[in-house]
Amino acid sequence: MNTKLNLKRYQVVQVAGGLGTRLRHRTGDGLPKPLLTLDGRTLLDLAISTYVRNGLKDFVFLLGYHADKIKEYIGDGSKFGINVKFSIEPRMLGKGGALKFALEQGVIDRKRPCIISYPDDLILIKDFPKKLIRRHLVGLKKGCLATVVRVTKTQYRYGVIYADDEGVVVDFQEKPFIPYPGNVGIYVLEPPIYDIIEEVVDLSKAPVDFEKVVVPRLVTERLLFTFTIPYESWIPVNEEKEFRLAEKRIKELKW
């Protein structure tokens, strides 16, 4: 297994086929979420530029909802300085299903490792891809064939109420942080993992959740390594509050 840093080995697989229902008030019925704009740039622009400035030029886009509009926006990739391939799912397949379908169609190069990411996950670290791959290479030396990105802590979605034995509230914390590393959903996969995806993912039962079907197998076989980043450096743009935070941070960073 090659454990030298060579960014050109990696292909970037962008999962961009979701419905984006929680931001439907911004997208309406005709705009896919990756084409929402932050400070004049689309989520897709921001996602692509993160990898391009770190020397990655080969992209695969897994599309579904409004695939034609995303494909038209990207075109042949020349305006971004990238090489592109597209896989358009025939129905909602989920991330696991979309990956298997792309492998079966030959869109993902089976001989090369890949970075799986989303255009609506903003990582506010300029050299993030390079750091991710360096960390992945450490895992390779330990026998791991995949790396998952996680954050240092997780914010609980609800207020937490503590009461004594009589039911009297003794403490209340609104949406506290809990000491559990959260899954960002970005992965690096070596080619042998593609065989596992094809083995465990059943397209007849799609949509298939990658985290429920593939990840447990990687954990069982001790193939999954971690790359930990600060909680504050990750903004998943899934709802209005996150969208506004992302817009504010992008303006501050002037990327």
The phi and psi torsions of 135 (rounded to 5 degrees) equal -65, -40
**From CA 196, how far away is CA 218, in angstroms rounded?**
9
Q: Which domain holds residue 64?
A: 7-253
pLDDT above 70 as % of the chain: 98
Q: How confident is the model at residue 48 (pLDDT cuts 50, 70, 90)?
A: very high
- Alpha carbons 164 and 203: distance in angstroms, whole number: 50
Residue 87 lies in a domain: yes
Whether pLDDT at 18 is above 90: no
> How sure is the predictor about 17, in pLDDT bands with cuts at 50, 70 and 90?
confident
Answer whether residue 1 is part of any domain: no
**Residue of 178 and 227 predicted with greater confidence:** 227
Q: How many Å apart are CA 58 and CA 10, to the nearest integer?
A: 8
pLDDT at 83: 98
Total structural domains within the chain: 1
**pLDDT for residue 255:** 63
CB-CB neighbours of 1 under 10 Å: 11
Asked if pLDDT for residue 186 goes beyond 80, the answer is yes
Q: Per the structure block, which two tokens stand in for 191?
A: 């080619």
Q: Does residue 96 sit within a domain? A: yes
Residue 4 has pLDDT above 80, yes or no: no
Residue 182 lies in a domain: yes
- Does the residue 2 lie in any domain? no
Q: Specify the amino acid at residue 251.
A: K
What is the CATH classification number for the domain harbouring 207? 3.90.550.10
Q: What percent of the chain has pLDDT over 90?
A: 77
Task: State pTM to two decimals.
Answer: 0.92
Residue-wise pLDDT for 111-168, tens only, equals 999 999 999 999 999 899 999 999 999 999 999 999 999 999 988 889 999 999 999 9
Nearest to 43 by CA among 236, 210, 241: 236
Q: Is residue 236 part of a domain?
A: yes
In a domain, 58, yes or no: yes
Among 94, 133, 128, CA closest to 112? 133
Q: What's the rounded mean pLDDT across residues 30-41?
A: 89
Helix/strand/coil for 89: coil
How high is the pLDDT of residue 1? 66
- φ, ψ of residue 114 to 5 degrees: the values are -135, 155
- CA-CA-CA-CA torsion for 196, 197, 203, 207, nearest 10 degrees? 130
Tell me the C-alpha distance between 52 and 151, whole Å: 23
Query: Predicted confidence band at 2 (pLDDT cuts at 50, 70, 90)?
Result: low
